[in-house]
Structure 1
Amino acid sequence: MKEEFVHSGTWGLAVIMIVLASWILYRYLAPKTWREWASAGVVQAFIIALYAEMYGFPLTIYLLARFFELDRYDLNANLWSSLVGLGETGMLISMLLGYALLFVGIGIFIQGWRELYRAHRQNELATSGLYALVRHPQYTGLFIGLFGEGVVHWPTLFSVGLLPIIVLAYGLLARSEEKRVVAQFGEEYRAYQQRVPMFFPRMGQWRQLVQRSGGDGGKDEQPPA
């Protein structure tokens, strides 16, 4: 492989990023049931695989060079940079776009947790702010962040392969959670389910989702039926 791979072999940085990302994950998802732990475990595997390749050993590039007979000296540690052939320019573009999505996702993730925590303390159903646009904004933020970091910024075989599994796992988890909420709030939550999509806002509401992730609550505004 190219000796000038910038991040390869920096295992200390890989460990720091894995610990930091894992702390955020478990701090705000706070899994309790086995379903929650199983879903969080898949995300944990995504995080470990991603940063181990990003800062440790570029396994995806190595496998491409090994099994598809690509010239390893024409490859860069970043997959998009190598496939598109834009070199450092391609790496910079994918990095900027990926980080933008990552930070948007983190903002949605944390703000969703705050709104849900506030609703739980008041024993109310969370339906305002981000919850007026999607029923599970924490998971929406998680998906956006993982897509930005593990597909746009630094795609690997593991990150691209695990992302659909993560979406499926949290889709099943969300349906299980909603059964418990229906048992508590009844028709009020059923009506909310009919109004608001599960993970992804309707066309034209993505800007509102990003704006509200910064704390712009929009408390009483509801999406159109």
Structure 2
Amino acid sequence: MNDPSSSYGLWSMVVINSAVFIFFAFSFFKPRSKRDWRTLGMFSAFVVALFTEMYGFPLTIYLLSGWLARQFPGVDFLGHDSGHLLEVMFGWRSNPHFGPFHLLSTLFIGGGFWLLARAWRVLYAAQASGLLATAGPYARLRHPQYLGFILIMVGFLLQWPTLITLTMFPIMIVVYLRLARREERDAAASFGDAWVSYAQRTPGFWPRWTSGAGVSSPTLKGEEHP
């Protein structure tokens, strides 16, 4: 957008983009419990805050306008493309949508949604059968769905960092860790020794790419163990 006045104040874009990504998260995550809805709700707040600054009101750019103008003279920070601050700071002056940080963000966001979808299929099948989910992504880590949300948020931060979302991100990590611990207590109460054995051999959030990761269990319908 070459006209600065048209770069922001696009509240319809805020609504449309927020709705699209929240719907994607909803359809991939499929919340059922209060804990699931809380997880999705926090992610939705992050998305709304992001797109509000991306298309509505660029609060971060206004608050940092003096410093940005001194550090990067000649850059029109009221233009939409300049909102990709990492591209600007590291000297990328071509179309930011083809910049390294934007391309990396696409990988993180796509990978996060893929992980959400893969994990949901396994978890749904396990819950329907009354089994402990240990197939698919759950063979590599205990909380693939939370990791999926984290990857998506990292992707958005690489693409369009803002003061609000940078503040929200570590808070949401802490909350997700606490929610994960609660889920683990519930799983331990429900599955006993099977859960203990699985938890001892399977990392929580960082996958272990070895043949010994996870535990053996009946293969769920439509899934195969890695």
* TM-score w.r.t. length of structure 1: 0.81
The C-alpha deviation readout for 1:157-189, integer Å capped at 9, x for no partner, is: 112221111111111001001111111100110
Identity %: 33
- Equivalent pairs counted in the alignment come to 206
What runs of 5+ residues in structure 1 fail to find an aligned partner?
Answer: 206-215
Alpha carbons of 1:36 and 1:126: their partners in 2 closer, same or farther (altered >3 Å)?
closer
Q: 1:165 to 1:85 in 2, by over 3 A?
A: same
Deviation at 1:196, TM superposition (A): 0.7
How far off its partner does 1:40 sit? 3.4
CA distance in 2: counterparts of 1:57 and 1:199, whole angstroms: 35
* Matching residue of 2:158: 152
2:139/2:202 contact within 8 Å kept: yes
Q: Please show how residues 1-225 of structure 1 align to structure 2 within 5 Å.
A: 3-4=3-4, 7-27=7-27, 28-30=29-31, 32-33=33-34, 35-66=35-66, 68=67, 70-71=69-70, 74=75, 75=77, 76-93=82-99, 94-149=101-156, 151-202=157-208, 217-219=223-225, 221=226
Gaps of 5+ in 2: 212-221
- Residue in structure 1 matched with residue 217 of structure 2 by the alignment: none
Residues 118 and 136, structure 2, Cα contact 8 Å, conserved in 1:
no
**2:60 and 2:160 mapped to 1: Cα distance?**
10
Mapped to 2, the partners of 1:7 and 1:117 lie a distance apart of: 42
Name the CA shift for 1:59/1:135 in 2 (closer, same or farther; >3 Å).
same
Counterparts of 1:129 and 1:179 in 2: how far apart (Å)?
22
What is the alpha-carbon distance in structure 1 between the residues aligned to residue 69 and residue 84 of structure 2? Answer: 15
**RMSD between aligned alpha carbons?**
2.5
Q: Which amino acid aligns with 1:77?
A: G
Kindly tell me: are residues 31 and 118 of structure 1, through their superposed partners in 2, closer, same or farther at Cα, counting changes over 3 Å? closer
Other-structure match for 1:213: none
